[in-house]
């Protein structure tokens, strides 16, 4: 007997958008539903389950169902952006609640947490998430309600041992949420390691074509807290437009091919430049001398992803000048923020994060796309000062 989609491999499910066929038209591609509102039944019920598009839209279903399967979760929600997804997870808490988050994480979310979120009443402690003793000391049971992890973490690419942090957090009665944007469900499934919630900036690898801003949350279980987050998405209105949701599910069909290619290419680029005297340090968890290499082998056995950073040689001043000059000289790599698209991007991270940034000035962040690896190496090689 033919296998049902229950038994398909994740890459098969993804390529086929779960294998769904439209029951009315037999279309093999999911429909787009631009309607903002739906007719009530004559007996006053909403039997279709749809009433108003700020609450939910059927166009969200393919991406949400696929994410739930890929992450091994119980349910997913897509949002208007990664920030809308992340801030929903935090505002699902109550003023006075305490959260623990990493010192090194996506900067805009860290700025929101230490600014508006604290003004709103959250108590936020930032810790070195790679230091398990520091994480344990930061817990304040029963006030600590959430521990936020980002792994691999922007832009230094340190990894967090999700299982170890989950053990600490759960013992203190806190949930664990993982920003898994840079790992993707192709390379890491945080719920398998004990996470309660997984967040993605779907703007990045999930969509993969630098043409959609979106985000997602996946829960390990259906419970009252998840229902609260669902209500919040509807109440705060952080929903994607139907066209964006449709583009997202379309982009996701090639997720496995894109991520595997980017990850293999990034590993080759990291190895190639690791002995280059113009570079002080290559930051990539797949390199054997990376401080979290052992965690990488356990947590990301199929590859460490398409993100790496390089620190230019020469010390703080000369290194910063060399980094800016290198970014100015590339041709194939595009000088732009963001990550996870099919085209490779290079970015002087300290310039976008501003003077408060803990990121060293000599650092360039590289988002490896799916171009030929030799072309990428040659372009970067030519852009590095002799």
Ligand X SMILES: Cc1ncc(COP(=O)(O)O)c(C=O)c1O
Active-site residue 381, yes or no?
no
Instruction: Please tell me whether residue 308 adopts helix, strand or coil conformation.
Output: strand
Q: Choose, from 56, 161, 179, 362, the residue flagged as catalytic.
A: 179
Choose which of 30, 58, 62, 82 interacts with ligand X (CB under 6 A): 82
Give whichever of 154 and 249 is closer to ligand X, judged by the CB atom: 154
DSSP calls for 20-49: ---TTT--SS------SB-PPPTTS--TTS
Residue 179 in the binding site for ligand X (CB under 6 A): yes
CA-to-CA separations, 47 to 15, 84, 216, 341, in angstroms, rounded: 31, 29, 27, 40
**How many degrees, rounded to 5, is the angle at CA 154 between CA 306 and CA 198?**
85
Q: Segment contacting ligand X (CB under 6 A): 81-89, 138-146, 223-231, 363-371?
A: 81-89
Between CA 381 and CA 134 the distance in angstroms is 39
Strand order of the sheet with strand 334-335? Answer: 279-283, 307-312, 363-367, 345-348, 334-335
Burial of 267 (0-12, 13-18, 19+ CB in 10 A): buried
- Encoded one letter per residue, x for contact with ligand X by CB under 6 A and - for no contact, window 149-168 reads -x---x--------------
- Encoded one letter per residue, x for contact with ligand X by CB under 6 A and - for no contact, window 347-366 reads --------------------
Choose which of 203, 207, 249, 309 interacts with ligand X (CB under 6 A): 203
Task: Please work out the total of residues on this chain that contact ligand X, with binding judged by CB under 6 A.
Answer: 16
Active-site residue 106, yes or no?
yes
Active-site residue 54, yes or no?
yes
Instruction: Please tell me whether residue 52 adopts helix, strand or coil conformation.
Output: strand
Residue 238 in the binding site for ligand X (CB under 6 A): no
Q: How far is the CB of 332 from ligand X (least distance, A)?
A: 22
| Catalytic annotation, residues | 54, 106, 179, 204
**What are the residues binding ligand X (CB under 6 A)?**
81-83, 106, 109, 150, 154, 179, 181-182, 201, 203, 213, 215, 338-339
């Amino acid at each position: 007997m033919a296998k049902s989609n229950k038994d398909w491999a994740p890459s098969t499910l993804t390529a086929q958008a779960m294998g769904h066929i439209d029951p009315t038209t037999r279309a093999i591609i999911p429909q787009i539903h631009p309607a903002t509102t739906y007719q009530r039944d004559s007996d006053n019920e909403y039997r279709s389950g749809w009433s108003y598009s700020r609450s939910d839209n059927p166009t969200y279903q393919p991406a949400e169902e696929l994410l739930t399967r890929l992450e091994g979760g119980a349910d997913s929600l897509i949002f208007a952006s990664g920030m809308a997804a992340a801030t929903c997870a935090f505002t699902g808490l109550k003023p006075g609640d305490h959260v623990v988050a990493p010192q090194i994480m996506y900067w805009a979310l860290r700025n929101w947490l230490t600014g508006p979120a604290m003004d709103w009443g959250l108590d936020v402690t930032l810790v070195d998430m790679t230091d398990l003793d520091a994480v344990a000391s930061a817990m304040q049971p029963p006030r600590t309600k959430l521990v936020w992890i980002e792994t691999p973490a922007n832009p230094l690419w340190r990894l967090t041992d999700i299982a170890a942090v989950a053990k600490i957090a759960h013992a203190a009665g806190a949930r664990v949420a993982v920003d898994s944007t840079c790992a993707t469900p192709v390379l890491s499934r945080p719920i398998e390691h004990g996470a309660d919630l997984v967040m993605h900036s779907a703007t990045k690898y999930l969509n993969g074509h630098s043409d959609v801003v979106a985000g997602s949350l996946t829960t390990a279980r259906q419970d009252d807290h998840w229902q609260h987050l669902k209500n919040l998405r509807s109440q705060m209105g952080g929903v994607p437009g139907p066209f964006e949701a449709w583009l997202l599910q379309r982009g996701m069909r090639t997720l496995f091919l894109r991520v595997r290619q980017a990850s293999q290419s990034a590993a080759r680029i990291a190895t190639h430049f690791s002995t280059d005297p113009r570079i002080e340090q290559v930051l990539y968890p797949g390199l054997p001398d990376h401080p979290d290499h052992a965690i990488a082998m356990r947590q990301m056995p199929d590859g460490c992803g398409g993100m790496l950073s390089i620190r230019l040689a020469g010390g703080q001043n000369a290194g910063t000048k060399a980094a800016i000059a290198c970014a100015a000289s590339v041709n194939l790599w595009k000088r732009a923020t963001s990550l996870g698209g099919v085209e490779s991007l290079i970015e002087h991270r300290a310039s976008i994060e501003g003077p408060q940034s803990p990121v060293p000035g000599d650092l360039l962040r590289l988002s490896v796309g799916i171009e030929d690896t030799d072309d990428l190496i040659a372009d970067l090689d030519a852009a590095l000062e002799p």
